[in-house]
Amino acid sequence: MARTKKERIVERPPLFTGYKPLGIMRGSLQKLPLALDEYEAIRLADYLGMDHAEAANEMEISRSTFTRLIERARAKMARFLIEGKELFIEGGNIHFRGNIIRCQSCGYMFNIQIGKQVKECPECHSHSLMNLAGGFGHGRCCVNHTNEHLA
């Protein structure tokens, strides 16, 4: 019987969730999913330059699990670049620490703590806000997870 996957921690949702080669219509491309934990592994190791032990600690997983995760993520990124597939970031067994809110009116984006409620854009005072963590179906579960670890 397989063990249940340990929940991984992702700092905040990605700003963009889909990527495709230029000049090719989306409908003709093969889809390639990248899980949120794979995205976070790429962000920590390749974007921020953390070593595997530091990154594993950030995600609250073992170093060996992180190594397998980053290898899987890098293989997908290579397939995306070489084979010209449509890459899209999707869910996974994760919790966010923070969130990003995007104003639909002016485009302003700002970081907030997960679970914090914001009613209007600090830039233009519009009430038309997009919760990026909510787009992945997250929010309340992440707050509960954070509270459990603080207790």
Q: Where are the domains of the chain?
A: 8-94, 98-150
Name the residue among 80, 73, 89 with its Cα closest to residue 36. 89
Query: Given this model, what pLDDT does residue 142 score?
Result: 67
**Whole-angstrom Cα Rg for the chain:** 17
Name the residue among 106, 136, 127, 115 with its Cα closest to residue 15. 136
Q: Is the pLDDT of residue 134 over 80?
A: yes
- Fold of the domain built from segment(s) 8-94: Arc Repressor Mutant, subunit A (1.10.10)
DSSP string, 13-31: --S--EE--TTS-GGGSPE
Query: Given this model, what pLDDT does residue 151 score?
Result: 47
Query: Given this model, what pLDDT does residue 148 score?
Result: 57
Q: Is the pLDDT of residue 50 over 90?
A: yes
| Arithmetic mean of pLDDT over the chain | 89
Return the percentage of the chain with pLDDT > 70, whole number. 87
* Mean pLDDT of the 40-67 span: 97
